[in-house]
Structure 1
Amino acid sequence: LADKKFQRLALLEECKNLPWNAVYDMFCLKNNVPVGESYIAEVEGYERDVTSKR
């Protein structure tokens, strides 16, 4: 199994920020920034495409 420590930490941080992060999520949506847990996929893609080639 792949190491999922980053994903677990990211989800824990999302939970700690409830409920005020809904306002921040709306700000991110309006500025085309990944919202909530969707940034996890962005980080995984970066790791796969960029850092794995180092």
Structure 2
Amino acid sequence: MVRLIVIFLIIALVAAIFGFGGIAEGFADIAKIIFYIFIILLVISLISRLFRR
């Protein structure tokens, strides 16, 4: 998932450099959403590991 976040951020930066503001904003929003999903899944994983032991 982190790889996807980095890819979307790089695409957003390249699009912003070339002047495609709308596309850059879309890719940045997608990267943010994936980042929040990653954080939520990480917390769930850590909590489940804590209760298994």
Higher relative contact order (CA 8 A, sep 6+): 2
Q: What TM-score do you get using the length of structure 1 for normalisation?
A: 0.42
**Bigger Rg, which one:** 2
